[in-house]
Amino acid sequence: MKTTSAALADTAAYAEAVETATKAAAAYYATGESPLDDDAYDRLVRALAAYEDEHPDEVLPDSPTGKVAGGAAVGDVPHTVPMLSLDNVFSAEQFATWAASLERRIGRPLEQWSVEPKLDGLAVAARYHDGKLVQLITRGDGSAGEDVSHAIGTIVGLPGRLDRPVTLEVRGEVLMTTAQFERANATRTGHGAAPFANPRNGAAGTLRAKDRPYTVEMTFSCYDALPLPLPLPGSGDLTGRLQDEPHSEVLAYVAGLGVHTAAGTAVPPRTVAAADQVQARVEEIAALRAELPFGIDGIVIKADLAADRRAAGSGTRAPRWAIAYKLPAVEKVTQLLAVEWNVGRTGIIAPRAVLEPVEIDGSTVTYATLHNPADITRRDLRIGDQVMVYKAGDIIPRIEAPVAHLRTGSETAIAFPEVCPQCGSGIDTSEQRWRCSRGRNCHAVASLSYAVGRDQLDIEGLGGTRAVQLVEAGLVRDFADLFSLTREQLLSLDRMGETSTDNLLAAIEQARTRPLARVLAALGVRGTGRSMSRRIARHFATMEQLRAADAEAVQQVEGIGVEKAPVIVAELAELAPLIDKLVAVGVNMTEPGATPPVAGEASDPAADAGSGPLDGMTVVVTGAMTGPLEKLSRNEMNELIERAGGKASSSVSKRTSLLVAGENAGSKRAKAEDLGIRTATPDEFADLVAAALPGD
């Protein structure tokens, strides 16, 4: 990861960089909008600092370096104690250097460190008198901030009244969760306003906004608390508690009053005893980043003990006892160059954004998802827009919103297709996701390739090239035709010798016996996936029972609600000719071990799962499997869990009974350890479910 920026060439370049940085900071702190994303701003400020270190006589007074909020924020409400920013490090080596410097300053090794997520929001101070929230103030320039008390009542986690009538000030971040951000943009665009570019800008702009015809919900997370000066009633008994207790205990006390902290999240604050343990916790939090329902841009590391903080002291901009360990950016601003329209295996016409290549989180991003035409319209996206692109972990990059204030007037509307881009047929636009009027028949090769995949029918030897051959030769129109193929037909194809033909026919014959769950997955019923196909198969036991079910009966399957059930029923009706062909050629239509439901009874997840060594257990698999499980795909592992009586899940939670942790298990193992969940190695798990292993 890069930790420095390109050097500024001369005085003119330095002056231009100062102007760019100050304008960006001013825009962000005034309206929540900025022409620079976080990473670009950080790199620019680092370049300024490097130039100023080498040319101390040329430092301009407007430079944002060494100033709280880059010197851009203003306010007229004085802070009782300066509300400072944090210095940054960008690597383990930089953190180790900073930690050693801190311990030298204190004169001893620190006994306790606090490690907590750096939430991506706007810092505020909330003042409570006798337990009542009376004032909300932005950080401003650190000495004084802006009164934003009009936002009281719109911020989750910042109660109007505490559980005790105490007088104190809590400090923390106001942010938007991912869900709040989506709701906020839907609300804004519904009122004719431009969508927010990202959750951080959304929180900053919303906090200051007044007299809007709508309200937008935000969330608060406390990171500090301090007593308000006497003689305010109720503050005297807190002075010692808040000034002399460890930081971790102060956060616990505040949480007990009803104020939200990160304690209840997947990345709670944690104390460790040594600097090397800090790095391990940093890596744990970073690994969980993609799964969090809110944005983080780093990890805050603090001296936990009050005595250590006092010994370290503070500078004019930042405390010396805390540092922000910044993570690689997961969002960047780049240009939308074009929109491609691709047709999927079920005929869904999906738009994809073509971007000016941009490096995000260590990889180059050229494409991003755009969901559907309605989403494009709602976000008011245009070709040529500067757009905020977001990427976290293995999630497909997505466009958050256009950066509307950067428009030049040369942007053009995105053209929606009038006919199917794949086959030229009409388009069904009755739902948000548009679909070719020919449905699955539009993309026979894609449908066939999907159906024969390892986690569906698992027909070895029938890859993409062979699928194209079969379709172009007119031998296969859908995957049911596979079961009628003859040896002579296959031998007539290029590069199909006797051995490969016989092997393919044997694989097709084996596929005829796959359980109903695999057949359902191969059909690609919209609204379902592999795990849902297993639940449906175990609930109904036979295809006949499933096809006879109405929407109300389908709703009895765990995880299927009132909106999804009618879609599944309609899909099965559309697939009736294909299902009839499969029945006619002898494809299995039952689920081994499953019992058909009794009319009128709801699905019992435990009963659906069956019985066995995992009876009633929820099991999560992570990492690479070894030993007897080495060749099993993740879908096959989930099938194994259900054959053994358990329920497979993809995420660790308090309801998880067992985590099977293979090599490079990562964040799920860390979360399981936090929650005290039992963990098994692949070999231990194989012994536990030996009777259900394939071939037994």
Give the residue numbers annotated as catalytic, written as ranges.
118
DSSP assigned state of 632: -
Single-letter residue type at 695? G
Contacts of 58 by beta carbon, 8 Å cutoff, 6+ apart: 11, 14, 51, 52
Single-letter residue type at 576? A
Query: How many residues does this entry show for the chain?
Result: 696
Cα–Cα distance, 146 to 124 (Å, whole number)? 9
SS3 content of the chain, % helix, strand, coil (to 5): 40, 20, 40
- The dihedral sign for the CA sequence 651, 653, 659, 662: positive
- Under the phi-then-psi rule, with left for phi > 0, alpha for psi from -120 to 50, and beta for the rest, what region is 524? left
CB atoms within 10 A of CB 275: 18
Cα–Cα distance, 367 to 351 (Å, whole number)? 10
CB atoms within 10 A of CB 87: 14
Cα-based torsion angle of the residue sequence 18, 21, 26, 28 in order, rounded to the nearest 10 degrees: 180
Contact between 110 and 322 under an 8 Å Cβ cutoff? The reply is no
Cα–Cα distance, 106 to 243 (Å, whole number)? 18
Give the distance from CA 282 to its chain's centroid: 18
Which of 24, 66, 368, 367 lies closest to 204 in space, CA to CA?
24
Question: Where do runs of H (alpha helix) occur along 128-238?
Answer: 178-190, 199-208
Angle (CA) 172 177 182, round 5°:
145
Single-letter residue type at 520? L
Which of 476, 472, 422, 485 lies closest to 451 in space, CA to CA?
476
Q: Radius of gyration over alpha carbons of the chain, in Å?
A: 30
Strand partners for 342: 350
Cα–Cα distance, 197 to 182 (Å, whole number)? 11
Task: Give 580: exposed, middle or buried? Use CB within 10 Å, 0-12, 13-18, 19+.
Answer: exposed
Which of 630, 634, 613, 615 lies closest to 687 in space, CA to CA?
613
Tokens of 332: 């960047």
Q: What φ, ψ does residue 659 adopt, rounded to 5°?
A: -110, 125
Q: What φ, ψ does residue 387 adopt, rounded to 5°?
A: -125, 150
For 230-269, letters b (16+ CB in 10 Å) and e give: eeeebbeebeeebeebbbbebbebbeebebbbbbebbbeb
